[in-house]
Structure formats: structure tokens, C-alpha cells
Amino acid sequence: MTEKPFNNRAWLMVAPVFALVLFSALLPMMTVVNYSVQDSLGQNQFFWNGDAWFRDLLNPSTEIGARFADALLRNLSFSLVALAIEVPLGIAVALSLPRGGWAVGPVLVVIALPMLIPWNVVGTIWQIFSRADIGLFGAALTGLGLHYNVTQEPISAWCTIVVIDVWHWTPLVILLTYAGLRAIPDAFYQAARIDAASRWATFVNIELPKLQKVLVIVVLLRFMQTFMIYTEPFVVTGGGPGSATTFLSIDLVKIALGQVDLGPAAAMSLVYNLITLTLCWIFFTIMMQLDRRRYA
């Protein structure tokens, strides 16, 4: 038997990364965990509260539980609506982009522009854009006789937030899908032509299956981002009218920084985090399973 040499100095190489992760993620996370099991009456005095915050949060009959359940529902429906619009729209646009030639560069840049604008700037742009008096969008809709008012009509507010997200992030779907489409060899299209496949049959039998991996990434990214939406409702609607656009993140900030209820806020952010993780895991598993079952 040969003696395997041990050299634990290699750990030194990992130490900087470990320290970085510790300070950037683990320690802040642990403070949150710490807050979530304590209560405070101010003056920086804390006492043990066990899992009471969590039980309140997950019980819809309590005040905070009801708030949480409502916001969670809003988040889920927002993500669902945004994905249902952005993914098909992005694929449709990617399919109609030019495949080559001088136009590709300029077109891609123009499409990517919205993504380069910071969230709060997007919010500010739309806050003005959607006003009925001086905003082009708002004025146009009002001029058409529609009942559009972001600050008073829940439906207007909702639609505006959805439109903002679609405008801001469909480009990501387009670019990723376009890249995926470009990776399909020409021979597949040529074979489809020889087989007299219709445009739709080509899409369903060649393009969609080859895009599967890209679409998993697209759906995950867009789900995570839409589920964590904060800035747009914060700037444009302030969570209103009433609590119509009060999403989890908005409510979280209200509880933590507005009411300084650190315990409930900490419990809420942990549960929020776990829900995001779990949903992503479920998405990923389902899409991969679909893939495997289809080709089994």
C-alpha cells in the first residue's frame, strides 16, 4: 500500500473565498435568522420568542398571516402573468428576427436597450409615462375613453406593472431564444423543407425541442426576477391603490423599515427565500422530467 500524502495547506487557498462568502452571505443570513426568533421592545433589547413569528406568519387568521398570504398570492399571479406573456412573446419575436446580414447587429442592440436601464429609472420613466395629464401612455389611453388611472384603479395599476416588466425583460427572453435558434444547424431546416413540413410543424418538431434547455433557463431567470419584483411597484404605484400591488418585497420593506418590526420581517424574508428556492427547484425538476419522459 502506498502512503497517500496529505497536504492541508490547500485549504489556505480556499480560505479567501470562504471568508468572502461568510461576510457577504452567511453572516447577514444568520443575523436574519437571529432576528426571526427574537422579539424587541426597543432600546436594542431582545428576548427569545421561539418560532412564534413563523407560526403567526403561516397562519392566515392572524393579521400578519393574512397580509403575507395576500401578498404571496399577488406575487404568484404576477409571475404567472408575466411569464405567460414574456416567454411566448419573446419566442415569437426571436423567430421573426433576421438570421443574418447587416441588420442583425442594430436590431439586437435596439432590442437589448430596455435591459440596460436601471430598475428605478424604468420606474420613474413609467411613472411619468402613465400619468393621465402629462404622460403619453396615460393620456393616450384616457383619450381613447378608457378608465385608466394608476393611482386609483387596481386594474390600471396591475396592468401597468405587467406592461413595465414585459417591456423591460422580454428582451432577455428574445436574446436567449435567438441565441438558441442560431445554434440549430441549417441542415435541420433544409430537411424540413424537403419533408414539406409547414412553418408550424418546423417550429414544433425542430425549433421547440432544440430550445428546451434555453427555455428552462429563461423560465427560471424570469420567474426568480418577477417573483422578487420590488422597484417598479415601489416607484410607480407605491404598492397601491390600497394594497393592490403590494407584493411580498414591498410588504417586507414596510414591515422591516416602516414599522421596524424586525422579528416578523426576518421570519417573512426567510420564508420568502425558501418559497423562491422551492419553486425554482420544482420548475427545474418538472421541466427536466418532461424532457426525459418525452425522449424515454
Partner 1 sequence: MARITLDGIAHRYDTRSQSAALKRLNHVWQHGRAYALLGPSGCGKTTLLNIISGLIMPSEGRVLFDEKDVTQLPTERRNIAQVFQFPVIYDTMSVAENLAFPLKNRGIDRRAVKARVAEVADLLGLTRDLSRRARNLTAEAKQRVSLGRGLVRSDVAAILFDEPLTVIDPSLKWQLRSKLKAVHRALDLLMIYVTHDQVEALTFADEVVVMKDGSVLQVATPTRLFEQPEHTFVGYFIGSPGMNLVAAEVDGHVAHVAGQAIELGARYPKLAAGSTKLGFRPDYTFLVADGSGVPVQIRRMEDLGRRRLARVALGPHEIFATVPHDVPIAGEQAHLAIRQDRLFVYAHDELVSGDRR
User: Is 89 a binder of partner 1 (CB under 8 A)?
Assistant: no
Among 206, 224, 244, 275, binds partner 1 (CB under 8 A): 206
Give the C-alpha separation, 214 to 207, whole Å.
11
CB within 8 A of 228, min separation 6: which ones? 249, 276
User: In whole angstroms, what is the distance from residue 266 CA to residue 268 CA?
Assistant: 5
Nearer to partner 1, 104 or 197 (CB): 197
Distance between CA 13 and CA 31 in Å, rounded? 27
Instruction: Between 63 and 186, name the residue whose CB sits nearer to partner 1.
Output: 186
Rank residues 128 and 204 by Cβ distance to partner 1 and give the closer one. Answer: 204
Give the phi and the psi of residue 103 in degrees, each rounded to 5. Answer: -70, -25
Measured from the CB atom, the residue of 175 and 215 that comes closer to partner 1 is 215
Q: How far is the CB of 189 from partner 1 (least distance, A)?
A: 9
Instruction: Say if CB 267 and CB 54 are below 8 A apart.
Output: yes
CB of 245 to partner 1, least distance (A): 40
Residue 209 CB, shortest distance to partner 1, in Å, is 4
Crossing angle of helices 104-112 and 154-182, in 10° steps, is: 150
Window of 90-98, 173-181, 199-207, 224-232 that interacts with partner 1 by CB under 8 A? 199-207
Query: Vertex 109, ends 108 and 110: CA angle to 5°?
Result: 90
How many Cα neighbours within 13 Å face the side chain of 17?
A: 5
Which of the stretches 1-9, 15-23, 35-43, 185-193 binds partner 1 when contact is defined by CB under 8 A? 185-193
Residues 209-228 that bind partner 1 (CB under 8 A): 209-210
Near partner 1 by CB under 8 A: residue from 5, 100, 105, 185: 185
User: Which one, 190 or 289, has the nearer CB to partner 1?
Assistant: 190
Instruction: Report how far residue 53's alpha carbon sits from residue 39's, in angstroms, rounded to the nearest whole number.
Output: 9
- What value does the CA radius of gyration of the chain take, rounded to a whole number of Å? 24
Binding residue count for partner 1, defined by CB under 8 A: 20
Contact with partner 1 (CB under 8 A) among 191, 277, 282, 286? 191
Given the rule CB under 8 A, which residues bind partner 1? 185, 187-188, 190-191, 193-198, 201, 204-206, 209-210, 294-296
